[in-house]
Structure 1
Amino acid sequence: MRRPWRIAVVGGGITGLAAAVRLRDRAPAGTTITVYEQSGALGGKLRTGRLAGATVEFGAESFLMRDPAGGESAAVALVRRLGLTDRLVHPTVGQAALAVDGTLRPIPGGTLVGVPGDLDRVATVAEPTAAADVDAGRPLLGPTEDVAVGALVRARLGDQVLERLVDPMLGGVYAGRADDLSLVTTMPALARAARVERTLTGAVRAAQAAAPRAPGSPVFGALAGGLTGLVEAAATASGADVRLGATVRALAPTADGGWRLTLGPVPAPELVDVDAVVLAVPARPAARLLADCAPTVAATVGRLDYASVALVTLALPEPELPELSGFLVPATEGLSIKAATFFTTKWGHLRRADGLALVRASVGRYGEERQVQLPDAELVDTVRRELAEVLGAKLPAPLASHVRRWGGALPQYAPGHLDRVAGARTALRGSRPTLALAGAGYDGVGIPVCVRSGETAADEIIRVLEGAVT
Structure 2
Amino acid sequence: MRAPWRVAIVGGGITGLAAAVRLRDRAPAGTEITVYEQSGRLGGKLRTGEIAGQSVEFGAESFLMRDSATGADSAVVALVRRLGLADAIVHPTVGQAALAVDGGLRPIPGGTLVGVPGDLDRVATVATPTADADPDGGRPLLGADEDVAVGALVRDRFGDQVVDRLVDPMLGGVYAGRADDLSLATTMPALARAARVEHTLVGAVRAAQAAAPRRPGAPVFGTLAGGLSALVEAAARAGGATVRTDAAVRELHPTATGWRLTVGPTRDPELVDVDAVLLTVPARPAARLLAGPAPEVAAAVGGLDYASVALVTLALPEPELPELSGFLVPATEGLLVKASTFFTTKWGHLRRPDGIALVRASVGRYGDETSLQLTDDDLVATVHRELSKVLGTPLPAPVARHVQRWGGALPQYTPGHLDRVAAARTTLRAAHPTLALAGAGYDGVGIPVCVRSGETAAEEIITALGGSGS
- TM-score under structure 2 length normalisation: 0.99
Whole-angstrom distance in 1 between the partners of 2:53 and 2:206: 45
Q: Which amino acid aligns with 1:174?
A: Y
Task: Please tell me the root mean square deviation across aligned C-alpha atoms, in Å.
Answer: 0.9
Q: How far did residue 129 of structure 1 move?
A: 2.2
How many residue pairs match? The answer is 469
Whole-angstrom distance in 2 between the partners of 1:105 and 1:72: 32
Provide the residue aligned with 1:273 in structure 2: 273
Whole-angstrom distance in 1 between the partners of 2:139 and 2:11: 45
Q: How far did residue 269 of structure 1 move?
A: 1.2
Identity %: 81
Secondary structure at the aligned position of 2:467 is classed as helix
Q: How far did residue 212 of structure 1 move?
A: 3.6
Secondary structure at the aligned position of 1:378 is classed as helix
- Any conservation in 2 of the 1:68–1:211 contact (CA below 8 Å)? yes
Q: How far did residue 26 of structure 1 move?
A: 0.5
Secondary structure at the aligned position of 1:449 is classed as helix
> Runs in 1 of length 4+ with deviation above 4 angstroms?
none
Provide the residue aligned with 2:217 in structure 1: 216
- Any conservation in 1 of the 2:313–2:358 contact (CA below 8 Å)? yes
Q: Which amino acid aligns with 1:234?
A: A
Provide the residue aligned with 2:449 in structure 1: 449
Provide the residue aligned with 1:403 in structure 2: 403
**Does 1:78 pair with 2:79?**
yes
- TM-score under structure 1 length normalisation: 0.99
- Any conservation in 2 of the 1:181–1:412 contact (CA below 8 Å)? yes
Structure 2 unpaired stretches of 5+: none
- Farther off after superposition, 197-206 or 132-141: 132-141
**Does 1:392 pair with 2:392?**
yes
- Any conservation in 2 of the 1:312–1:404 contact (CA below 8 Å)? yes
Provide the residue aligned with 1:299 in structure 2: 299
Secondary structure at the aligned position of 1:131 is classed as coil
Provide the residue aligned with 1:59 in structure 2: 59
Provide the residue aligned with 1:352 in structure 2: 352
- Any conservation in 1 of the 2:336–2:371 contact (CA below 8 Å)? yes
Q: Which amino acid aligns with 1:231?
A: V
Provide the residue aligned with 2:118 in structure 1: 117
- Any conservation in 2 of the 1:65–1:73 contact (CA below 8 Å)? yes
Whole-angstrom distance in 1 between the partners of 2:370 and 2:72: 40
Provide the residue aligned with 1:175 in structure 2: 176
Whole-angstrom distance in 2 between the partners of 1:30 and 1:354: 52
Q: How far did residue 367 of structure 1 move?
A: 1.0
Superposed counterparts of 1:120-135, under 5 Å: 120-129=121-130, 131-135=132-136
Secondary structure at the aligned position of 1:171 is classed as helix
Provide the residue aligned with 2:160 in structure 1: 159
Q: Which amino acid aligns with 2:411?
A: P
Q: Which amino acid aligns with 1:142?
A: G
Provide the residue aligned with 1:95 in structure 2: 96
Whole-angstrom distance in 2 between the partners of 1:399 and 1:265: 41
Provide the residue aligned with 2:23 in structure 1: 23
Provide the residue aligned with 2:68 in structure 1: 68
- Any conservation in 1 of the 2:128–2:162 contact (CA below 8 Å)? yes
Secondary structure at the aligned position of 2:132 is classed as helix
Secondary structure at the aligned position of 2:185 is classed as helix
Q: Which amino acid aligns with 1:345?
A: T
- Any conservation in 2 of the 1:130–1:156 contact (CA below 8 Å)? no
Superposed counterparts of 1:216-365, under 5 Å: 216-256=217-257, 258-365=258-365
Q: How far did residue 2 of structure 1 move?
A: 4.0
Q: Which amino acid aligns with 1:168?
A: P
Secondary structure at the aligned position of 1:147 is classed as coil
Q: How far did residue 130 of structure 1 move?
A: 5.6
Whole-angstrom distance in 2 between the partners of 1:152 and 1:188: 14
- Any conservation in 2 of the 1:140–1:199 contact (CA below 8 Å)? yes
- Residue by residue, what CA displacement relative to the aligned partner does 1:295-340 show, whole Å, maximum 9, x if unpaired? 1111111100000000000000000000000000000000000000
- Any conservation in 2 of the 1:259–1:274 contact (CA below 8 Å)? yes
- Residue by residue, what CA displacement relative to the aligned partner does 1:322-381 show, whole Å, maximum 9, x if unpaired? 000000000000000000000000000000111000000000000111111210000000
Whole-angstrom distance in 2 between the partners of 1:269 and 1:62: 38
Q: Which amino acid aligns with 1:177?
A: R
Q: Which amino acid aligns with 2:242?
A: D
